Amino acid sequence: MILLWKSPRVTERIKHEQPFRIRLYLMDLLNKPLMSHLPLVSVIIPAYNAAAFIRQTLVSVLSQSYRNLEIIVVDDGSTDQTAEIVKSIAKSDHRLILLRQSNQGVAVARNLAIEKSRGEFIAPIDADDIWHPEKIKKQVKCMLESGPAVGLVYTWFMRIDENSLYLCASGKWEVEGMALTALIYSNFVGNGSVPLIRRACLEHVGGYTVQLRAQGAEGCEDWDLYLRIAEHYRFRVVPAYLVGYRRSSKNMSSNYIAMAKSHKVVLQNIEQRHSEISAEIFRGAKSTQCFFEVRAHYSRGNYLGALYWAYHALLWDSMKIFSKPLLNWTVLSLLEIMAKPVTSLIGLEHRPLLEFIKRIRSRFQKNRTLIPLENGYEIMPQTRKPLNVYDRYFSKDGAILQSTQL
């Protein structure tokens, strides 16, 4: 290491480049993290009754190729084995810290973790999601290349189900720079497990808002934070699928009524602060939320609800009529409603079309597992081998192993 620092190349760069450029150069030169020269990243994980998935989440975090991490789990008053699982894993890795509090909600838990953290960058992740092994490394590199004007780096994500099987992929957003207007129209960051955030940025705009829970509108705390960041800082993107975002019946994003109310409150707040932004943008934002409500109600078999929200999506933005998914959900909902009385009259058991579609999809599910390849998650045939760092935690087809040990 001493010889490295006496190298003429390194000496010359030290004289003429900014400190963050030097750290990036050393990282690339040695192709491995230098704990004493790379910035500390604080991973914050709020957890409430997360025993079913917390081990998988921690495995994905501890397996990051970027090693200079501290991982803070805040047990938000869990009544299951969440704390015990975290404690057992912490015995084998000193970077993992467990904090406990009474149940006060995700915003309070995240803020507590940020308060106790020491990292230059903050990386939140929900207690049931997973990361690709290269996620933090790629985002830190992007941050260091960008400079202090950038407050948040996001990436793409793939939705997975309770069995860690692929459901669908996020859009390939490439919005960068001052992105407030685009972020109002649609939360392209996507969810709370995607961003890497500069600590100085959080100190400027404040942490996660706790008022939404008090208003019975918990759910969009992450979007609210991203909007406040976008008011002052630039955004950058790492164009790769690096997050597995889990959709389950128990996570907060599945509470669609609360999410709809939360979205409405956050949107009203930002509209009051930015009256100069075109009303069309806010109409588009309302239509986009209605679009998500259509999908949510259709997936739960509430076909009248799906039609109700489809109508309002078109009411706010008539151009949504050209949206293929919206058209599909609307037509299928109408067919479901019309088919039920017919099948009842002839004495047949009514089988929802949604269940039929699921059965068809299940025949192809074996080729829709999440494979962590070098440049991000992909949906590949079973014959493709996962990234070596995950061999211990993933089967050959990419499914997460239910291991009891790290």
Residue, of 398 and 72, whose pLDDT is higher: 72
CATH number for position 95? 3.90.550.10
Q: What pLDDT is attached to residue 402?
A: 35
Say how far residue 169 (Cα) sits from the centre of its chain: 12
Q: Reply yes or no on whether the pLDDT at 366 is more than 60.
A: no
Together in a domain, 29 and 81 = yes
Q: What pLDDT is attached to residue 18?
A: 52
> What's the mean pLDDT in 255-266?
80
> What's the mean pLDDT in 124-153?
95
Neighbours of 116 (CB within 10 A): 14
What does the mean pLDDT of the chain come to? Answer: 79
Domain closes at, from 203, 220, 254: 254
Residue, of 333 and 25, whose pLDDT is higher: 333
Residue, of 4 and 355, whose pLDDT is higher: 355
Together in a domain, 223 and 345 = no
Residue 96 belongs to some domain of the structure:
yes
Residue, of 325 and 78, whose pLDDT is higher: 78
Together in a domain, 164 and 74 = yes
Question: Which range, of 21-25, 128-132, 394-398, averages the lowest pLDDT?
Answer: 394-398
Do residues 243 and 135 make contact, with C-beta atoms less than 8 angstroms apart? yes
Together in a domain, 78 and 184 = yes
Confidence of residue 355 (pLDDT cuts 50, 70, 90): low
pLDDT tens-digit readout, 1-34: 434 444 444 444 444 445 545 554 545 543 444 4
Together in a domain, 337 and 234 = no
Q: What percent of the chain is predicted at pLDDT more than 90? A: 46
Together in a domain, 197 and 90 = yes
Q: Reply yes or no on whether the pLDDT at 392 is more than 50.
A: no
Together in a domain, 300 and 152 = no
Angle between helices 221-230 and 106-116 (to 10 degrees): 50
> What's the mean pLDDT in 172-182?
92
Pick from 19-33, 49-63, 203-217, 317-331 the range whose average pLDDT is largest. Answer: 49-63
Q: Reply yes or no on whether the pLDDT at 383 is more than 50.
A: no
Residue 377 belongs to some domain of the structure:
no
Residue 293 belongs to some domain of the structure:
yes
Residue 250 belongs to some domain of the structure:
yes
Together in a domain, 187 and 82 = yes
Q: What pLDDT is attached to residue 201?
A: 95
> What's the mean pLDDT in 279-301?
82
Domain closes at, from 254, 272, 290: 254
Q: Reply yes or no on whether the pLDDT at 83 is more than 70.
A: yes
Domain with 146 in it: 25-254
Together in a domain, 218 and 79 = yes
Q: What pLDDT is attached to residue 89?
A: 94
Strands 69-76 and 130-131: unpaired
Say how far residue 250 (Cα) sits from the centre of its chain: 16
Q: What pLDDT is attached to residue 353?
A: 52
Name the CA dihedral angle for 4, 6, 7, 9, rounded to a multiple of 10 degrees. Answer: 110
Domain count for the chain: 2
Confidence of residue 236 (pLDDT cuts 50, 70, 90): very high
pLDDT tens-digit readout, 191-229: 999 999 999 999 999 999 988 888 877 888 999 999 999
Q: What pLDDT is attached to residue 181?
A: 92
> What's the mean pLDDT in 122-147?
95
Confidence of residue 364 (pLDDT cuts 50, 70, 90): very low
